[in-house]
């Protein structure tokens, strides 16, 4: 009797184990289906975002065509310094704004990869900052300089064509200036808010005493800006 009872108990445990295994397989299958569904939803969402960004870029590009036409016209026919001029091209009114952003950056000898920002300056109704850092390029250190748009309060479809000239100036009587000038306008927007030069000047040249670009471990950066916003703030 004891042997018969033990066999029955073993059979019962085997049935319970089979039932538990079947239940576990069902749960795993449901989880796998849920994961596949989430993956499909994620792919769909990513595709939607990609398509939306593509549409926004096309709309932005179309809106800026008239602005760029005006910029090209003004490059061929320069207007008086600090003057404002409005032109209409393709239904878009482009207004020209000019200004100079300048900043003194200190502790240049300790400058590293992290960006250092200037105080903001306002041109064309929006705020801009200068940022600098030290970057390695082709086994040489360079001073990287960028003009950055502060986008916090900008509408999604705001954009602005910018022509600029970057300068680091001597602080000695020699008045040596190292500069780079944009050959064509760049377009700033909420998504594309920073442009500049990662090789603005070799760090070795910057630190050379004969040029006087560094004084008391500080430099002076000027960026002269001509801005053509699509819809001025």
Q: For the chain, what are the domain ranges?
A: 1-233
pLDDT at 36: 77
User: How confident is the model over 145-169, as a mean pLDDT?
Assistant: 91
Other residues' Cβ atoms within 10 Å of the Cβ of residue 57: 13
**179 has a pLDDT exceeding 60:** yes
- Beta-strand relationship, 194-202 and 140-149: antiparallel
Reply yes or no on whether the pLDDT at 84 is more than 70.
no
Res. 226 pLDDT band, cuts 50 70 90: very high
Query: Highest-confidence range of 22-31, 100-109, 172-181, by mean pLDDT?
Result: 100-109
Higher pLDDT, 158 or 43: 158
Choice between 50 and 184, residue whose per-residue pLDDT is larger: 184
Q: Averaged over 201-220, what is the pLDDT?
A: 95
Stretch 80-107: mean pLDDT, rounded?
64
CB atoms within 10 A of CB 130: 23
Query: Residue 76: which pLDDT band, with cuts at 50, 70 and 90?
Result: very low
**Which pairing describes strands 140-149 and 177-181: parallel, antiparallel, or unpaired?**
unpaired
Residues in contact with 169: Cβ distance below 8 Å, sequence separation at least 6, in sequence order? 175, 176, 177, 213, 220, 222
pLDDT of residue 186: 92
pLDDT number for residue 20: 82
Q: What band does 7 get if pLDDT is binned at 50, 70 and 90?
A: confident
In order, the DSSP letters of 29-86 are HHHHHHHHHHHHHHHHHHHHHHHHHHHHHHHHHHHHHHHHHHHHHHHHSPPPTT---E
Q: Quick one: pLDDT at residue 26?
A: 82
CATH 2.60.210.10 for domain 1-233, yes or no, is yes
Q: Which of 5-14, 23-32, 81-90 has the lowest mean pLDDT?
A: 81-90
Report how far residue 47's alpha carbon sits from residue 143's, in angstroms, rounded to the nearest whole number: 39
On whether the CB atoms of residues 102 and 222 are closer than 8 A, the answer is: yes
Say yes or no to pLDDT of 66 above 80: no
């Amino acid at each position: 009797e004891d042997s018969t009872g033990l066999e029955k108990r073993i059979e019962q445990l085997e049935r319970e184990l089979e039932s538990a295994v079947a239940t576990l397989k069902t749960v795993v299958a449901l989880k796998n289906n849920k994961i596949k569904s989430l993956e499909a939803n994620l792919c769909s969402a990513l595709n939607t975002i990609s398509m939306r960004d593509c549409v926004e870029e096309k709309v932005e590009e179309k809106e800026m065509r008239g602005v760029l036409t005006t910029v090209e016209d003004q490059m061929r026919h320069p207007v008086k310094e600090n003057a404002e001029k409005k032109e209409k091209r393709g239904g878009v009114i482009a207004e020209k704004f000019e200004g100079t952003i300048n900043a003194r950056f200190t502790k240049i000898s300790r400058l590293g990869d992290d960006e250092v920002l200037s105080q903001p300056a306002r041109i064309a109704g929006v705020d801009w900052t200068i940022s600098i850092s030290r970057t390695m390029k082709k086994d040489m250190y360079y001073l990287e300089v960028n003009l950055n748009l502060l986008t916090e309060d900008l509408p999604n479809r705001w954009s602005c064509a910018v022509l600029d000239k970057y300068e680091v100036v001597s602080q000695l009587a020699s008045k040596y200036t190292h500069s780079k000038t944009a050959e064509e306008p760049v377009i700033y927007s909420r998504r594309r808010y920073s442009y500049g030069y990662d090789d603005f000047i070799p760090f070795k040249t910057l630190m050379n005493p004969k040029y006087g670009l560094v004084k008391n471990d500080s430099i002076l950066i000027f960026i002269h800006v001509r801005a053509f916003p699509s819809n001025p703030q």
